[in-house]
Structure 1
Amino acid sequence: MRETNLRGVDLNLLVVLEALLRERHITRAATSLSMSQPAVSRALGRLRETFDDPLLVRGPAGLTLSERAEGLRQPLADLLAGLSGLVAAPDFEPADATGSLRIGCLDLEAAIYLPDLVPAIRQNAPNMQLEIYSHPDDYFALLAEGRLHLAISGLEPWAGAAQFHRRVIDHTHSEVLMGQDNALADPPMTLERYSAARHGVVSITGRGPAMMDERLARQGVHRQVALKLSSFANVSDACANSDVIFSLPHRLTRRLAARDGRLVTRPLPGALQEQRFPMYLYWHARHHNDAMSQWFRRLLLQTIDQRIDHGDTADDRP
């Protein structure tokens, strides 16, 4: 490997490089760095000379990363996180702090667990920006890259579990949401009546069968899906104005029914009722000892604990 004299390298350029690799757009990178676009363009030119590589190249959909740049993303994120921890003050004062607090979760989890987080941030850290990333993605990869501080998910990391810490924040199960005049609102809720109903499905990714379809298949039955949505925003109106029913986590069904008198919730048929499954708050080892991240975790857990009554949920992975 060719040796490089670090005294000849402007390490400030690495901060610009991280923004460029993250944003893949010069103007957006400049905005995130509070720099002018010409200054970032000049920095990109110097970075290309330093790495002897174009780093960002034009493609049909805009700028894309070169193979060298792709290889730099994770090492660079780790390096900057380490440098930040090295020079950061050991204490964190939220009232005076600036910067971004980034959490990833689907809009379902955001609706259930995050309603109290925004006012808590505004009260305790008024100069900080809260970013809730709800686009379906590999949140574990984003945590590992340092692009998220926290993530809420019911999933397990597919690899590298030792990198992550987690805390159980809730246990949930599925219930049926429907209009109050739906025939299924009157018991009994049998498997036959349930499977014969017209169902709505919220498919975030648009790929693969829903978990309920897999459970029905194990019972040797199938259901008729009459409506498929890509988010939870229109679930209430879809139920209230039709005979469509949705099977959703009970935290959400009860929240929607409490807000809309046209809706009721009912338990699933006995053959489909499952054990309660956990929801986790995840964070990466890189942020475990960071003062700002520790404060953010405590604040989020406090807001969730105030909203949800549950027992001992400690499950902090080393």
Structure 2
Amino acid sequence: MDLSKFDLNLLKCLMVLLQEKNTSKAAERLGVSQPAVSRSLAKIRTHFDDPLFVKQARGLGLTDRAVELAEQLPDVLAKLESCLAGQEFEPSQLTGKLRLAINNYLSESHGFAICQAVLSEAPNIELELHNYSPSTQIQLVRQTIDAAISFYPLEVSKEIRQTKITSTPVGAFCQLNHPIQGQVFTADDLLRYPIAGLILSEFNEQGMQIEKLLKPGQHLKPKFRSQQLSTILDYTASSDALCIAPRSSYTTQMQTRFRFVELSHQDKGIDMPVVLLYHNSQHRTKKYQWLTQVISSLFQDV
């Protein structure tokens, strides 16, 4: 291929096509018409001397050459973007949408702070905060979501990087007059009181992580789990339940309804890492270095 005759703008179109495998969906993401994408694809095929895509019952299949490009192109474009940005990076010059997916606990405690911090430094972007869901990992791979925040460990694609931004102690919310005395409870208490907890996508859907602390032969039987935090808190406030949660979620507003007691195991506290997830190709870009710094600073005191 003669690079001097190649329009580099076609690479963006190609990357989106490789991710979506559908010209209509690619057109929607690029903000152009479907015929415009088809014309770009015709030029791309000519330059690469390869069909790249073949029609299938659902969408488009990739040729061997297209599979290679799908692996290499995101990193190439990220390096090109970083190179063109030069040495100076100004968040205030960022435009377009920034989409972040956050799990419910962290969204409740830090969602507004993230909104304030990001928009104060990048006032010209359109910020969207989404719930962390089963589709988030696919969106990160396709880069239709810019980044996500959740607890570690998560089983994710090798295309996704997990960067630790903080750790937060694990404990429980309980009503102000709960029978547990003091500020600490143990794994044995998990079998003495009703247990409640939030269901977080790709983290604890199959069971609660704290069950690993129980002795052999002991089994945790949560009384109530939900994807809606407000419902769990109402249940906890009206019972002797322990709502398993990170300390980072114990906001000032909650202190009028609940106590927070920390979980102790073998005379030690239990910490839960918080991670920022994004596509590997963005690791060295100034935009993502800035985003990591902004979000990390908000979690320094959890």
From the superposition, tell whether residues 151 and 97 of structure 1 become closer, same or farther in structure 2 (CA, over 3 Å): same
2:170 is matched with which residue?
174
Percent identity at matched positions?
22
TM-fit CA distance, 1:195: 0.3
1:202 is matched with which residue?
198
| Aligned 1:52-91 pairs, distance under 5 A | 52-54=51-53, 57-59=56-58, 63=59, 65-66=61-62, 68=64, 69-91=66-88
SS in 2 for 1:266: strand
The reply to whether residue 215 of structure 1 matches residue 213 of structure 2 is yes
Q: What code does the residue aligned with 1:54 have? A: F
Give a deviation string over 1:130-156, Cα, whole Å, max 9, x none. 344522578699479796457554338
Could you list the runs of 5+ residues in structure 2 that have no partner in the other structure?
Answer: none
Q: What code does the residue aligned with 2:79 have? A: G
2:108 is matched with which residue?
111
TM-fit CA distance, 1:189: 5.2
Q: What code does the residue aligned with 1:169 have? A: I
TM-fit CA distance, 1:38: 2.6
Q: What code does the residue aligned with 1:173 have? A: P
SS in 1 for 2:133: coil
SS in 2 for 1:91: coil
Could you state the TM-score of these two structures normalised by the residue count of structure 2? Answer: 0.74
SS in 2 for 1:234: helix
1:17 is matched with which residue?
14
Could you list the runs of 5+ residues in structure 1 that have no partner in the other structure?
Answer: 310-318
From the superposition, tell whether residues 149 and 276 of structure 1 become closer, same or farther in structure 2 (CA, over 3 Å): closer
TM-fit CA distance, 1:125: 1.5
1:293 is matched with which residue?
288
1:234 is matched with which residue?
231
Q: What code does the residue aligned with 1:106 have? A: N
Question: Would the aligned equivalents of 1:105 and 1:153 in 2 still touch at CA under 8 Å?
Answer: no
Q: CA RMSD in A?
A: 4.1
The reply to whether residue 304 of structure 1 matches residue 299 of structure 2 is yes
CA distance in structure 2 between the partners assigned to 1:273 and 1:88 by the alignment: 47
Give a deviation string over 1:51-81, Cα, whole Å, max 9, x none. 314256442xxx3653644543221111211
Q: What code does the residue aligned with 1:258 have? A: Q
Q: What code does the residue aligned with 1:199 have? A: I
Q: When the two structures are aligned, how many residues end up with a matched partner?
A: 295
User: Which residue, 89, 96, 121 being the options, matches 2:93?
Assistant: 96
Give a deviation string over 1:280-304, Cα, whole Å, max 9, x none. 4566775455333333333333333
CA distance in structure 2 between the partners assigned to 1:145 and 1:32 by the alignment: 11
SS in 1 for 2:292: helix
From the superposition, tell whether residues 94 and 185 of structure 1 become closer, same or farther in structure 2 (CA, over 3 Å): same
Question: Would the aligned equivalents of 1:120 and 1:299 in 2 still touch at CA under 8 Å?
Answer: yes
CA distance in structure 2 between the partners assigned to 1:34 and 1:140 by the alignment: 21
From the superposition, tell whether residues 152 and 224 of structure 1 become closer, same or farther in structure 2 (CA, over 3 Å): closer
Could you state the TM-score of these two structures normalised by the residue count of structure 1? Answer: 0.71
1:30 is matched with which residue?
27
